[in-house]
Structure 1
Amino acid sequence: MSGNKIIVKMEDIPVKLPNETLIGYSEMLANWYVERITPGYRKKRGQFFTPGIISGFMVRQFEDIDKKNEIKILDPGAGVGIFESAFCEYLLS
């Protein structure tokens, strides 16, 4: 990390493997990101990543979500999308 900026080339960001789940890929991206920053940088910004198992549990608490015509998700701290990935996997299962 250079100062307060994280400089990464797009080609350096890992790509999702064909057999990798959305949650698995999101968690891998979170770990990849965390390896490149200092704990102080994350603490100063209040950054944390919800584990996939917790996100999956939260998503399973929705009742009759598959019967809705329209679904809206508000996740102001979306980060790498672990919660959204869990939600998509839940809907597709």
Structure 2
Amino acid sequence: MAFALAAAGTPASLREVALAYAFGWAENMVQAAIKAVPLGQSAGQRMLGALVEAIPATVDAALVLRDGERMAFTPMLAVLSARHETQYSRLFRS
């Protein structure tokens, strides 16, 4: 929501906003993987480099989808999020 509100206040095109969002998401996931699994900085940078190459085509494909064609199917996200609460070692401890 905050990203969308901030983007709405800029002259950036929808494609530019989607590219920025996708890169931010990819960078976040890679940084989490570097901290959560045995993945070094160099491997993380290689992974991010591969994702960066794929982002423009992926964004372009997403932008031409009609509303009825868009979907997300992430059944394990809720399961893994729930398990995270009871794990001994958590990525970010509060």
| Superposition TM-score, scaled by structure 2 size | 0.33
More helix by share: 2
Q: Which has the higher contact order (CA 8 A, sep 6+)?
A: 1
Larger Rg: 2
